[in-house]
């Protein structure tokens, strides 16, 4: 963690788990639905989203959730909620969604203010052709997932994990394989031949409740060259650096 201390989803306790899983996917799709229109060049700016069942999600600016060296959405109007942070990739920074390593340092503990069971953590690669993502839960393996489009695995105990403490999580696409690592250790991998993520349009980190992000990095997974880094070291403002 840095020296400076440090989806959205839709679900509900009133609905069945099956309906919750469906709403989760709907919310993530809606909260991250960006136009293919030309984006201005620049470093990019993070936005945040709060979501709860059957109500419009709320999008907030980075001024509300970047503070003390971390990104964390703590002002949900609801007690049962999901959060996410999203970074659109500016057009001038061309990144292949099929050869990228998306690494972040995060936590979503069960015992902090804003914790919501089952403490989901998700990483998303939104491309021009398709989307790659991983979904961790601390419980309920039937809602875990590692997919590109409709190809991949769900309902696996391999993706049950409570991120109680700061943890490095990586989602990597390379050679038509999508792989997830925890602290550098391979957790799960799928092959997605016949599909393509395409040009990377945006990245997203999602939580059930108020998870925290310490930093985010992107690498070219073929060359291992670093592409981007965000340390959240400027209060109230994105500080994305491209290399």
Cα 164 to the center of its chain, rounded Å: 17
Q: What is the pTM of this model?
A: 0.86
% helix, strand, coil for the chain, step of 5: 10, 40, 50
pLDDT digits (tens, 9 = 90+) for 135-167: 999 999 999 999 999 999 999 999 999 999 999
Instruction: Look at residue 10 in the predicted model and tell me its pLDDT.
Output: 31
Q: Across the chain, what does the average pLDDT equal?
A: 88
Phi, psi torsion values for 84, nearest 5 degrees? -155, 155
Residue 136's nearest CA partner among 115, 152, 113, 154 is 154
pLDDT digits (tens, 9 = 90+) for 79-90: 999 999 999 999
Report d(CA 38, CA 242) in Å as an integer.
19
Percent of the chain with pLDDT over 90: 83
pLDDT digits (tens, 9 = 90+) for 37-73: 344 589 999 999 999 999 999 999 999 999 999 999 9
The CATH T-level fold of domain 17-242 is: Jelly Rolls (2.60.120)
Is residue 177 pLDDT above 50, yes or no? yes
């Amino acid at each position: 963690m840095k020296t400076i201390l440090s989806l959205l989803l839709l679900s509900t306790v009133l609905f069945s788990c099956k309906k919750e899983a469906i709403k989760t996917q709907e919310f993530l799709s809606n909260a991250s639905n960006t136009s293919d229109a030309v984006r201005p060049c620049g470093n990019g700016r993070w936005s945040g989203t709060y979501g709860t069942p059957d109500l419009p999600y709320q999008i907030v600016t980075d001024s509300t959730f970047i503070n003390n060296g971390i990104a964390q959405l703590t002002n949900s109007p609801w007690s049962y909620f999901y959060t996410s942070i999203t970074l659109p990739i500016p057009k001038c920074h061309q990144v292949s969604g099929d050869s990228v390593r998306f690494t972040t340092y995060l936590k979503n503990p069960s015992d902090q203010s804003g914790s919501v069971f089952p403490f989901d953590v998700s990483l998303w690669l939104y491309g021009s052709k398709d989307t790659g993502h991983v979904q961790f839960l601390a419980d309920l393996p039937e809602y875990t997932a590692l997919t590109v489009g409709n190809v991949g695995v769900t309902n696996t105990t391999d993706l049950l994990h409570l991120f109680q403490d700061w943890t490095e999580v990586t989602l990597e696409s390379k050679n038509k394989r999508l792989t997830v690592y925890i602290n550098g250790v391979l957790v799960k991998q799928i092959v997605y031949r016949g599909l393509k993520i395409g040009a990377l349009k945006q990245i997203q980190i999602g939580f059930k409740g108020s998870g925290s992000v310490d930093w985010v990095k992107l690498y070219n997974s073929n060359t291992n060259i670093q592409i981007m880094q965000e340390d959240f070291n400027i209060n109230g403002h994105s500080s994305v650096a491209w290399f």
